[in-house]
């Protein structure tokens, strides 16, 4: 369970978040939507404590994260950023192994090697293990980094939850890999101790895969709840300035298109 209480964040004199409050229950996939400049990435960075809010609190499992050490936080919180570029020839296997860095000192233990093998298999990147990271395509890099953040919080902890944040994880992926990633997120996030929060741009994919949606508009929460409750014509029009049209797919599910 992650709670945000009255988060205010400003970059210089420019206020980005104006008192955002929201709660994110474990075992669910939460997606944050909003137009450009709404403050989505900033909110994720505050929730993951890369940025410190000017006012308000972030709580993981009821405990304020403000005073926790980087290492303690890294053992249970992982973040997939938009684009990770590396100027140096690091092997893909080592990049994924970095997800285990918070869990061992010195050399990786057998358990760390096993976790890396499992997540590389889970993310279909085991064929890339011996490749040099800078030679990968954008989509391959994204999948390798997904494997890295999963490796970081792959194992349940004796106490307390695990938290996964994703900032526009779909950017470099083709449609097949986008849907595949969403399925994996739902699958991984279904564990009762895991909370997944992602920022995405594709409203239709978000409505289809999310358990809970938060729509951010001008630095404040415009609507929050299940996709059916949130994706109303009024809300979508207010946030994005487009008209949602609901269409039934042949198997009877509702699918959104926009005009």
Partner 1 sequence: MTARRSRTRAVLVALTAAMIAAALVSIRYGALDFSWREMASATAALLSGRTGGTLDERIFAELRVPRALLCLFVGASLGVGGTLMQALFRNPIVEPGLVGTSSGAAFGAALFFVLGSALGFEASPWALPLAACAGGVLATGLVFALVQGGPGGRASVAALLLTGLAVNALFLSGIGFLTYIARDPQARSITFWNLGTLSAANWQMVEVVGAATVAGTLLAMRYAKPLNALLIGDDEATYLGVNVGRLKWIVLAVNVGMVAIATAFTGVIGFVGLIVPHILRMIGGADNRYLIPASALLGGTLLTLADLLARVALRPAELPIGIVTSVVGVPVFLSLLRRGRYAF
Binding site for partner 1 (CB under 8 A): 48, 50, 70-75, 77-79, 81, 84-91, 93-95, 98-99, 101-102, 105, 113, 129-130, 132, 134-135, 149, 152
Please, which residue, 196 or 215, has the CB nearer to partner 1?
196
| Calculated CA dihedral for residues 77, 82, 86, 87, nearest 10 degrees | -150
CB atoms under 10 Å from CB of 201, counted, come to 14
Provide, rounded to whole angstroms, the least separation between the CB of residue 84 and partner 1.
Answer: 5
| CB of 16 or CB of 149, closer to partner 1 | 149
CB of 95 to partner 1, least distance (A): 7
Q: How far apart are CA 50 and CA 109, in angstroms?
A: 28
| Smallest separation (angstroms) from partner 1 to the CB of 80 | 9
CB of 114 to partner 1, least distance (A): 12
**Nearest-angstrom CA–CA distance, 100 and 149:** 9
- Exposed/middle/buried for 142, CB within 10 Å: 0-12, 13-18, 19+? buried
- Residue closer to partner 1 by CB (options 136, 205) is 136
Alpha-carbon distance of 128 to 141, in angstroms, equals 10
101 secondary structure, DSSP code: G
Cβ distance to partner 1 smaller for residue 162 or 217: 162
Centre a 10 Å sphere on the Cβ of residue 169 and count the other Cβ atoms it contains: 23
Residue 122 near residue 184 (C-beta atoms within 8 A): yes
- CA–CA dist 11, 157 (Å, integer): 35
Nearer Cβ to partner 1, position 21 or 81?
A: 81
| 57 Cβ neighbours under 8 A, 6+ residues apart | 3, 4, 5, 6, 7, 64, 66
As measured in angstroms, the least distance from the Cβ of 82 to partner 1 is 10
Q: Which is nearer to partner 1, 29 or 78 (CB)?
A: 78
DSSP 3-state of 147: helix
Residue 246 C-beta: closest distance to partner 1, Å:
38
Unique residue bearing structure tokens 């970081």: 152
Question: Closer to partner 1 at the Cβ: 115 or 203?
Answer: 115
Query: Nearest distance from residue 148's CB to partner 1, in Å?
Result: 8
């Amino acid at each position: 369970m992650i709670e945000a209480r009255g988060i205010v964040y400003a970059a210089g004199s420019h206020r980005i978040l104006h008192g955002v409050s929201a709660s994110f229950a474990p075992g669910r996939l939460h997606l944050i939507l909003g137009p450009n400049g709404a403050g989505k990435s900033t909110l994720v960075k505050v929730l993951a404590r890369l940025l410190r809010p000017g006012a308000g609190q972030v709580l993981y499992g009821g405990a304020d994260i403000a005073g926790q050490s980087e290492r303690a936080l890294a053992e249970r919180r992982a973040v997939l950023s938009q684009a990770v570029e590396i100027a140096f020839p690091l092997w893909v296997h080592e990049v994924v192994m970095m997800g285990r860095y918070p869990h061992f000192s010195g050399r990786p233990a057998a358990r760390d090697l096993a976790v890396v093998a499992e997540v590389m298999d889970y993310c279909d990147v085991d064929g890339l293990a011996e490749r040099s990271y800078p030679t990968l395509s954008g989509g391959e890099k994204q999948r390798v980094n997904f494997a890295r953040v999963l490796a970081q919080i792959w194992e349940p902890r004796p106490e307390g939850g695990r938290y996964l944040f994703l900032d526009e994880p779909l950017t470099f992926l083709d449609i097949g890999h986008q849907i595949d990633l969403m399925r994996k997120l739902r699958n991984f996030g279904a564990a009762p101790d895991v909370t997944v929060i992602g920022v995405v741009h594709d409203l239709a994919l978000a409505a289809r895969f999310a358990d809970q949606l938060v729509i951010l508009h001008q630095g404040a929460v415009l609507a929050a709840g299940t996709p059916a409750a949130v994706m109303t014509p009024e809300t979508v029009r207010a946030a994005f300035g487009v008209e949602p049209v609901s269409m039934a797919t042949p198997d009877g599910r509702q699918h959104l298109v926009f005009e």
